[in-house]
Chain A
Amino acid sequence: MDRRLWREPSFDLIAKVLQINWLYVVLLCCLAGVGYLALYSAAGGSPEPYATRHAMRFAMGMLIMLSISLIDIRFIAKLAWPAWLGGVVLLGLVLRVGHVGKGAQRWLDIGGLQIQPSELMKLALVVALASWFHRASRERMGNPLFLIPPLIAILIPVGLILKEPNLGTAAITLMLGGAIFFAAGVRWWKFVLVLLPLPLLGQFAYSHLHDYQRARIDTFMHPESDPLGAGYNIIQSKIALGSGGMWGKGFLQGTQAHLDFLPEKQTDFIFTMIGEEFGFAGGIAVMGLLGLIIIGGMLIALRCRNQFGRLVALGISCNFFLYVFVNIAMVMGVIPVGGVPLPLVSHGGSAMLTVMVGFGVLMSVHVHRDVVFADADDDG
């Protein structure tokens, strides 16, 4: 790409639209399509009440994503810190007036739209950290004092999310921050220094957990100890997955899901239902699709020519990856149940919206992969 292109007024809307990675958009549509089929089945072979709404939300999300992808990445960079501040305010608000669900306050009702501020916060954090490290030279990266502000920028929202309490999202947020630190070039030994006392920290955290969270961890360790209580979800999920076998029971034929043995099949455990009806073959196909979307995001990061864009794209891809990992590992009983849906597949409007906003920013990075930042120029 010619750098001059960006300085010319002819780089207009149409040129930008042409720059959108339409293959990536197709991948996202495929994933949402899988979601449509799964939700159709979850409703017992009916587009109501899940599938139709899912399709409409995706269409709206796609519109938002495409709009955002046309916004200049430099403008987004300018919004980074205000967005971070907004996220923190929303997190504070959710603690005061949020809806209580499953013993935790997570949801905020804004004009009938339920949003989960922690999801928006992750996106804002990625953008904020990217803008911080965007200006960082190799020397400044070596200065530990330079790393303290971004560290605080991570810990404040993580602390607020922990207080909701939402252990899973807090951990994901923390890992997300770590990923950006890592990609920005923070030295290996500094990670080692932080990771070493982690076991102790874990012990401390465990003793301060809510009972329901502790139950999740305990039943994860020994799911059979309480087959009808907290371990029920994990066991039923594994039974449903396992009974699917190689090729599955067929579309709409999943007995465990349709006889309601599988809990929350339209949200957290939708991957299980896919596995039961389409077998290992179907499960691996969906995982492949998810993998392509993650790799595609990483490739966008690698092709971007400015540090801000790279870090943002990497952060958004990592966020998506963490989502996928936690959900799939959870339904297979690899990690404790965490209440994390499968993005673009599970039923739920708020998650869909934030994910699509994220992909919009990712696409904006792609469209504006060759722009030059004024302040970065100073650096170079």
Chain B
Amino acid sequence: MKRDIERTNVFTRRALLMMGGQVAVLGTLAARLYQVQVREGARYTTLADENRISARMIAPPRGRILDRFGTVVAGSSTNWRVVLIAEQVNNVPATLEAFSALLPLSEYERTRIDRELHRKRKFIPVLIREFLTWDEMATIEVNAPDLPGIVVDAGTTRNYPFGRHLAHIVGYVAPPNEADVADDPLLGLPGLRIGRAGMEKFHDLGLRGRAGSVQLEVNAVGRVIRELDRQEGLPGEDVGLTLDAGLQQAVLATLADQSASAVVMDCRNGEVLAMATNPSFDPSVFNSGVSQAQWLEWTKDRRTPLINKATSGLYAPGSTFKMAVALAGLESKAITPADRIGCPGFLDLGDTRFHCWRKGGHGMQDLRGGLKNSCDVYFYEAARRTGIDKIAAMSNRLGLGVELELDLPGQRSGLIPTREWRMGKGHAWNIGDTIVSGIGQGFVQVTPLQLATYASRIASGRLVQPHLTRKLAGVLQPGSEPDDWSSLGMTDKLLQTVREGMWAVVNEQGGTAPLARLADPQAQMAGKTGSAQVRRVSRELRESGHFDSEKLPWEYRPHALFVAYAPYDAPRYALSVVVEHGNAGAAAAAPMAREIMTEVLRRDPANRSEAPVARVVEAGSR
């Protein structure tokens, strides 16, 4: 019994000790609870709010691109899409089967849908099909009871009412890549597109607008429970172009099936009214993704539909370059308008014989005649007298071989050779190089846009720069008035000499471009033809008398060029036309120029309400 008591005492002592330990442990836990809940409560409250409140951005509507009359050339339209919300369906495959019975789904689409269904949470909609037509959408809506979980929803997509007519200028949008998203979180929003080319790219930031935001309460898996706060963003700004969309269509129609480009400018202020490149492409294809086959077709076409020939196509200007040579010679007094140069059909320099395009020669020619007849020998001699560096300086001043201040990405600057440039290449400059430069051959390379700018500057005597942006968010931009542009710094008398030569080319008996003559005698056009060889013609071939460029394979035929402005007495519009491998400027390019200029004048705002003749004459007296 004594032992039992002893044992009981030991138990009691130790049990009490353990009770004390348990109370102490529970007390420690309570202290810890106090620490977490009361002392650090504020910090954890913040963390809790960060957990449950999710700020999301609202995509602002992208700004529109309009032509000079406010016609939409790039806008947003509703994109009817079909999505599937997996959690609303018991049997997903059966629903997809039912959908396929109405609108067949390809194997590729099925694979994509299955993959997304697998990856995304059940309440996140999975895209089944987009760009539905009205009929397709109606079919789905009517059969809605048989398609549980299928929802028709309205997204936005970029649409281009003028499609291929403005593809190179307006550009296109495409989904952003990862590098873009790092710059602007707005781009991370699903379905957002950014400008990838053309005006869509140049004005992308303005068109994009500013994102709004919405604060949402979400649960642990990201499902939205309710909206707590909303802040609307700023919609993207509209961009107004200098282009006339209707004119653009007409110009592109004129180019027909040729691989060609044409630029029409307002020569007083540099506004580009039309800039057409043929063939073109449909920009809306980029919205939904370009197929491999389509891409191959574009890249294999030797007429290069994806390249904007007006700003990136480089061509030897040929005889259209002769005004630059003439002005360089006149200004430097190397030649005078009255100087006469004899043309026997060729010019011999050392061992080399330089031919005139007319085999028999033109006889004695002054400047006016040299331009009118496009006499090569006259300009060989004029170039020789003037020197390449003065010709290059004048060309650059007139907008050739330099980068223009055009607001369109992807411009090429071309080349006007100089002695310095040739030295840089490790060669000495030959006098023969100057001679061929005199007729715009050799190293000389320019773009159709530069040619139109060149014609504008000769016509207006101002240093106009071609530009495409007229209004931003409805506000007229600087550069719209002629007085926004400074003078070329050349006397009008000098320019007038050259202008008269250009007038004679088109309107005088025996000029090289009678096909460019306008029907209306009151609105005359001044211009210059050009034919630029793409391959050297050998002496034997030329002298054999069997040379005929028409018989060459397409890609070896000379390019046909034409530059012009009108009306002659009160210049308003300038243009350039380049037909790749069109053989002769007078035959291929001049008639197009005539057709385009006729359309331009018909559309002249001054002609809208009154008789065209009276208005043009009045415009000339201003």
Tell whether A129 is near chain B: CB-to-CB under 8 Å. Answer: no
- Asked if B219 and A261 make an inter-chain contact with CB atoms under 8 angstroms apart, the answer reads yes
Tell whether B40 is near chain A: CB-to-CB under 8 Å. Answer: yes
Which B residues lie within 8 Å of A310 (CB)?
11, 15
- Asked if B11 and A332 make an inter-chain contact with CB atoms under 8 angstroms apart, the answer reads no
Which A residues lie within 8 Å of B45 (CB)?
242-243, 245
- Asked if A259 and B43 make an inter-chain contact with CB atoms under 8 angstroms apart, the answer reads no
- Asked if B11 and A185 make an inter-chain contact with CB atoms under 8 angstroms apart, the answer reads yes
What separation, in Å, do the CA atoms of A307 and B11 have in the docked complex?
A: 9
Tell whether B421 is near chain A: CB-to-CB under 8 Å. Answer: no
Interface string of B206-248 (1 = CB under 8 A from A): 0000000000011111000100000000000000000000000
Q: A259-B219, A259-B225, A280-B34 are in contact. Are A242 and B43 (CB under 8 A)?
A: yes
Q: Which residue in B3, B40, B44, B225 is a CB contact (below 8 Å) of A379?
A: B3
Which B residues lie within 8 Å of A156 (CB)?
none
The smallest beta-carbon distance between A24 and chain B, in angstroms, is 16
- Asked if A259 and B218 make an inter-chain contact with CB atoms under 8 angstroms apart, the answer reads yes
Within 8 A of B (CB), among A312-326: 314, 318, 321, 324-325
Tell whether A59 is near chain B: CB-to-CB under 8 Å. Answer: no
What separation, in Å, do the CA atoms of A182 and B37 have in the docked complex?
A: 36
What separation, in Å, do the CA atoms of A246 and B39 have in the docked complex?
A: 9
The smallest beta-carbon distance between B30 and chain A, in angstroms, is 6
- Asked if A242 and B44 make an inter-chain contact with CB atoms under 8 angstroms apart, the answer reads yes
Which B residues lie within 8 Å of A325 (CB)?
25-26, 29
Which B residues lie within 8 Å of A245 (CB)?
37-38, 41, 45
What separation, in Å, do the CA atoms of A288 and B598 have in the docked complex?
A: 99
Q: Which one of A197-205, A215-223, A233-241, A350-358 is at the B interface?
A: A233-241
Within 8 A of B (CB), among A227-280: 236, 238-246, 255-256, 258-261, 275, 279-280
Chain B: residues with Cβ within 8 Å of the partner, total of 41
Tell whether B473 is near chain A: CB-to-CB under 8 Å. Answer: no
Question: Which of the listed residues B3, B11, B41 has the most CB atoms from chain A within 10 Å of its own CB?
Answer: B11
The smallest beta-carbon distance between B612 and chain A, in angstroms, is 73
Q: A298-B15, A379-B4 are in contact. Are A243 and B30 (CB under 8 A)?
A: no
Tell whether B546 is near chain A: CB-to-CB under 8 Å. Answer: no
Q: Which residue in B16, B29, B217 is a CB contact (below 8 Å) of A329?
A: B29
Interface string of A150-176 (1 = CB under 8 A from B): 000000000000000000000000000
- Asked if B30 and A287 make an inter-chain contact with CB atoms under 8 angstroms apart, the answer reads yes
What separation, in Å, do the CA atoms of A255 and B219 have in the docked complex?
A: 9
Which A residues lie within 8 Å of B15 (CB)?
183, 298, 301-302, 310, 314
What separation, in Å, do the CA atoms of A295 and B21 have in the docked complex?
A: 11
Which B residues lie within 8 Å of A290 (CB)?
26
What separation, in Å, do the CA atoms of A321 and B23 have in the docked complex?
A: 10
Tell whether B48 is near chain A: CB-to-CB under 8 Å. Answer: yes
- Asked if B29 and A332 make an inter-chain contact with CB atoms under 8 angstroms apart, the answer reads yes
- Asked if A138 and B34 make an inter-chain contact with CB atoms under 8 angstroms apart, the answer reads no
Interface string of A327-340 (1 = CB under 8 A from B): 01100101000000
- Asked if B26 and A256 make an inter-chain contact with CB atoms under 8 angstroms apart, the answer reads no
The smallest beta-carbon distance between B345 and chain A, in angstroms, is 85
- Asked if B10 and A185 make an inter-chain contact with CB atoms under 8 angstroms apart, the answer reads yes
- Asked if A302 and B12 make an inter-chain contact with CB atoms under 8 angstroms apart, the answer reads yes
The smallest beta-carbon distance between A302 and chain B, in angstroms, is 6
Tell whether B14 is near chain A: CB-to-CB under 8 Å. Answer: yes
Which A residues lie within 8 Å of B51 (CB)?
236, 239, 256, 259, 261
The smallest beta-carbon distance between B366 and chain A, in angstroms, is 86
Tell whether B19 is near chain A: CB-to-CB under 8 Å. Answer: yes
Q: A261-B220, A298-B15 are in contact. Are A238 and B30 (CB under 8 A)?
A: no
Which B residues lie within 8 Å of A279 (CB)?
37
Tell whether A371 is near chain B: CB-to-CB under 8 Å. Answer: no
Question: Which of the listed residues A183, A240, A243, A280 has the most CB atoms from chain B within 10 Å of its own CB?
Answer: A243
Which B residues lie within 8 Å of A380 (CB)?
1, 3-4
Q: A242-B43, A283-B37, A328-B29 are in contact. Are A179 and B18 (CB under 8 A)?
A: yes
Which A residues lie within 8 Å of B16 (CB)?
302
What separation, in Å, do the CA atoms of A291 and B40 have in the docked complex?
A: 25
What separation, in Å, do the CA atoms of A137 and B8 have in the docked complex?
A: 11
The smallest beta-carbon distance between A276 and chain B, in angstroms, is 9
Q: Which residue in B12, B40, B48 is a CB contact (below 8 Å) of A256?
A: B48
Interface positions of B (Cβ within 8 A of A): 1, 3-4, 6-8, 10-12, 14-16, 18-19, 22-23, 25-26, 29-30, 32-34, 36-38, 40-41, 43-45, 47-48, 51-52, 217-221, 225
A-B contact pairs, 6 of them (CB 8 A): A242-B36, A243-B47, A260-B221, A294-B22, A325-B25, A332-B29
Interface positions of A (Cβ within 8 A of B): 137-138, 179, 182-185, 236, 238-246, 255-256, 258-261, 275, 279-280, 283-284, 287, 290-291, 294-295, 298, 301-302, 307, 310-311, 314, 318, 321, 324-325, 328-329, 332, 334, 376, 379-380
> Which are the 9 A-B pairs with shortest beta-carbon distances?
A242-B44, A243-B48, A259-B219, A260-B220, A280-B37, A245-B41, A185-B10, A261-B220, A380-B1
